[in-house]
Amino acid sequence: MKYETIIIGGGLSGLLSGIALARAGRKVAIISAGQSALHFSSGSFELIDSEDNPLAAIAQMPSTHPYQTIGLDAVKRYAEAVPALFAEAGVEVSGSVEKNHYRITPIGMAKSAWLTLGDYATLDNATTLPWRKVAIVNFDGYLDFYPKFLDNFFAKRGVDTVHHTLTLAEFEHLRESATEMRATNIARIMTGDLLSKIATELRGRIGDAEVVFMPAVFGMFDAEAVSALRSQVRVPLYFIPTMPASVPGVRTQIQLKNYFQKLGGVYLLGDNVCGGEIRDNKLISVRTANHGDMEFHADNFILASGSFFSHGLIASQEHIYEPIFGLDIVADQARSEWYNQDLYAHQPYMGYGVVTDERLRCRLAGKTVENLYAAGSVLANQNPIAEGTGGGVAITTALFVADQIINA
């Protein structure tokens, strides 16, 4: 099989680079093993964790960081373009590259964010809220939602809360097992008459509450359930992230995948790239687990396989390595140097990843592989948790490598 570009990994980076290339008329295939980090998404994307202008904070980052590699102007340009790109795929987000907002976490904290899905409330600051009284509504038997944490969040900010629990006959088969009473299972039945029933219950219970918060268990495949429920409730209705899997995160991946395919992209789900042929510093083809001896050829390739979480990097007892091509990586040799015994301290392994040149082309044995690019969390010299840069790096580097290919 021959494509102009093959992308290894179907998460946020893989999908956005694929969309950018497909929009430019390129013949693109994404090879995806399955679930990505989007399935565990909070519903927000962070550019960098900063109370000030995010771009000013990015300008102070080390020269080896992926943001600095692609350049501050590129980060700003791509970040500004993302909301419109998401909107084309049906993904509603709010936020600005000029100033972070705050979102409410499942454990009742205010965390800074760059973009947030339309399901969730966004706050201008972490201490002052626009409501005096809120209603927190859960479902009987649903354990992956924590009203008490939210109570503390609102109480610290002078906001009164009232709690309601909805008992719905439609949930009986789910309540038979705690393992079935999960967000994604609930979301599958949140349609039509059940939404109207929930809306009727809410209208009868919320009293003088100015806003309602519920667990994010609506809209697995699109945002219609969210819109339908909101249209039937007389006060603003927002959602709080739950324990994984994340319904809005799964929905975002589905919407981006559908848009990629609508643009003509080929999405090969449930397969793993297990090797490839590199000749004269160029990647000629890749092999996958499901296709045996059949090779996938392309002019360009993008490695968007993620970090340790999605097996884009592997740690054995002896060493850390990139498992598909054996690419050069940044990683300490001694296992004792991989981690810090203080759980809350900087963890060195978080900065490990593949080595690239200034165009984000990968290196093998010290030489640049001329047509193999890397994007997202597989890149070295970032710490997405400590820096709050995971979503931003995934998005901006994906769009950067797509431009490198388009403009080559």
Question: Domain holding 17: CATH number?
Answer: 3.50.50.60
> Within this chain, do residues 323 and 186 fall inside the same structural domain, yes or no?
no
Where a domain ends, among 183, 214, 240?
240
- Amino acid 51: pLDDT: 78
> Within this chain, do residues 173 and 279 fall inside the same structural domain, yes or no?
no
> Is there a domain that residue 287 lies in?
yes
The answer to whether the Cα torsion of 303, 304, 308, 312 is positive or negative is: negative
Q: Which domain holds residue 198?
A: 121-240
Q: Exposed (0-12), middle (13-18) or buried (19+): which is 252, by Cβ within 10 Å?
A: buried
Tokens of 255: 């919407």
The answer to whether the Cα torsion of 86, 90, 96, 100 is positive or negative is: negative
> Is there a domain that residue 108 lies in?
no
- Amino acid 178: pLDDT: 65
> Is there a domain that residue 115 lies in?
no
**Domain count along the chain:** 2
> Within this chain, do residues 275 and 315 fall inside the same structural domain, yes or no?
yes
246 secondary structure, DSSP code? P
> Is there a domain that residue 116 lies in?
no
Q: Tell me how far apart the alpha carbons of residues 64 and 247 are, in angstroms, rounded to a whole number.
A: 35
> Is there a domain that residue 371 lies in?
yes
Q: Tell me how far apart the alpha carbons of residues 286 and 93 are, in angstroms, rounded to a whole number.
A: 35
Write down the residue that tokens 């972490």 correspond to. 126
Give, in order, the Cα–Cα distances in Å from 151 to each of 179, 239, 260.
Answer: 26, 15, 41
- Amino acid 189: pLDDT: 93
> Within this chain, do residues 401 and 257 fall inside the same structural domain, yes or no?
yes
Q: What is the pTM of this model?
A: 0.95
> Is there a domain that residue 113 lies in?
no
Question: Domain holding 185: CATH number?
Answer: 3.40.50
> Is there a domain that residue 105 lies in?
no
> Within this chain, do residues 303 and 352 fall inside the same structural domain, yes or no?
yes
> Within this chain, do residues 393 and 259 fall inside the same structural domain, yes or no?
yes
> Within this chain, do residues 312 and 202 fall inside the same structural domain, yes or no?
no
What are 112's strand-pairing partners?
102
Residue 182, C-beta contacts closer than 8 angstroms, at least 6 positions apart? 144, 245
pLDDT under 70 in the chain at which residues? Answer: 178
Q: Using H for helix, E for strand and C for coil, what is the string for 193-227?
A: HHHHHHHHHHHHHCCCCCEEEEECCCCCCCCHHHH
Where a domain ends, among 240, 275, 295?
240
- Amino acid 180: pLDDT: 81
Where a domain ends, among 240, 259, 278?
240
- Amino acid 281: pLDDT: 97
Please name the residue ranges forming H helices in 24-169. Answer: 54-59, 66-70, 72-88, 147-155
